[in-house]
Amino acid sequence: MEILKYGELEVLVAPSDRELGEAAAADLAGVIREELAKKGEIAIIMALGAAQDAFYTAIKARNDIEWSRITVLHVDTYMGVAEDRVESGASRMRKHLLNEVKPKAFFPMQGDHEPVEEELERYTRLFNELDPVLCVMGIGNSGHLAFNDPPADFDTTDIIRVVFLDETTRDQVKRAGIFQNIEDVPRYGLSLTMHALLKPRRALVLVHEQDKAETIRNVLEGPVSFMCPASILQTAPHAKLYLNQPAASRLTR
């Protein structure tokens, strides 16, 4: 394992996807143990992305995470897509992780709820009541965190917003095979804000795709800018970024 530092951010570069997943899962379990030692139940925020495959495999192999004391929140959803549809992040997260580990509760966003203002109010209330202690997320090709595409709002104190999905993000979604055609990919989503994603006491960020290597270079070696939203991680000492060799291949370390 290679440990790097960019600003306040610690970056771990793993030799393989398996080791990336195992390192992140070990850190997740450690944070959860620390937090559950302080109180009976906790909430965490989790994302479902390509880098989470190895991570979820490593999580499911562990027997030291007390899921019955953990409530899970989600980072984003497609506007107009019900949570039980196969395309939804909630449906896929249940399939790949939650149906097996069985947390105390899972509260996904309801992207098809109308009026949307009611859903924003509901999720804000949930977030504030549960006060999540940990956020797990990825970085998109646009440099986004969750669906906060550039230009991202670094100053808001809102918890959740309706956001416009830029073409880079929509193309990434299409190439991931979540929707059959680019025309099917929604143009709007609901997303936790940058403020909400970094509000928990710890943040774990995972990236393993070769095609994100240039994005990762911009995130870590470029300036902190709302035009590269994940660059804000440089200012986050409570965050840790996990990369494999392909994702780290453009870094000039």
Per-residue tokens: 237: 């000492």
Q: What is the mean pLDDT of the chain?
A: 94
pLDDT given for residue 89 in this prediction: 83
Rounded-to-integer distance, Cα 212 and Cα 43, Å: 29
Q: Provide the 8-state DSSP code for 169.
A: H
Share of the chain above pLDDT 70, in %: 98
The pLDDT-based confidence of 182 (bands split at 50, 70, 90) is: confident
Per-residue exposure over 195-219, b if at least 16 CB sit within 10 Å of its own CB, e if not: ebbbbbebbbbbbbbeebbebbbbb
**Per-residue pLDDT tens over the stretch 183-241:** 888 999 999 999 999 999 999 999 999 999 999 999 999 999 999 999 999 999 999 99
Rounded-to-integer distance, Cα 167 and Cα 41, Å: 39
Rounded-to-integer distance, Cα 51 and Cα 75, Å: 15
pTM: 0.94
pLDDT given for residue 175 in this prediction: 78
Q: Quick count: other Cβ atoms within 10 Å of Cβ 251? A: 17
The structure tokens 């780290």 sit at: 248
**Per-residue pLDDT tens over the stretch 70-111:** 999 999 999 999 988 888 888 888 988 999 999 999 999 999
pLDDT given for residue 121 in this prediction: 98
| Fold classified for 2-244 | Rossmann fold (3.40.50)
Q: Flag whether pLDDT at 176 surpasses 80.
A: no
The structure tokens 């949307």 sit at: 116
Q: Are 46 and 32 in contact (CB under 8 A)?
A: no
pLDDT given for residue 59 in this prediction: 96
* Beta carbons within 8 Å of 246's beta carbon, 6+ residues apart: 208, 209, 210, 213
Q: Are 86 and 114 in contact (CB under 8 A)?
A: no
At residue 174's C-alpha, the angle toward residues 169 and 175, to 5°, is 95
- What are the domain boundaries of the chain? 2-244
**Per-residue pLDDT tens over the stretch 130-146:** 999 999 999 999 999 99
pLDDT given for residue 228 in this prediction: 97
pLDDT given for residue 51 in this prediction: 52
Q: Are 196 and 184 in contact (CB under 8 A)?
A: no
Q: Are 137 and 146 in contact (CB under 8 A)?
A: yes
* Beta carbons within 8 Å of 46's beta carbon, 6+ residues apart: 72, 73, 74, 75, 93, 97, 136
- Strands 76-78 and 188-192, sheet pairing: antiparallel
pLDDT given for residue 177 in this prediction: 75
Share of the chain above pLDDT 90, in %: 83
The pLDDT-based confidence of 49 (bands split at 50, 70, 90) is: low
Where does the chain show beta strands of DSSP type E? 2-6, 9-14, 42-46, 70-74, 76-78, 105-107, 134-137, 160-164, 188-192, 202-207, 239-244
Per-residue tokens: 142: 């646009």
* Beta carbons within 8 Å of 168's beta carbon, 6+ residues apart: 140, 141, 142, 149
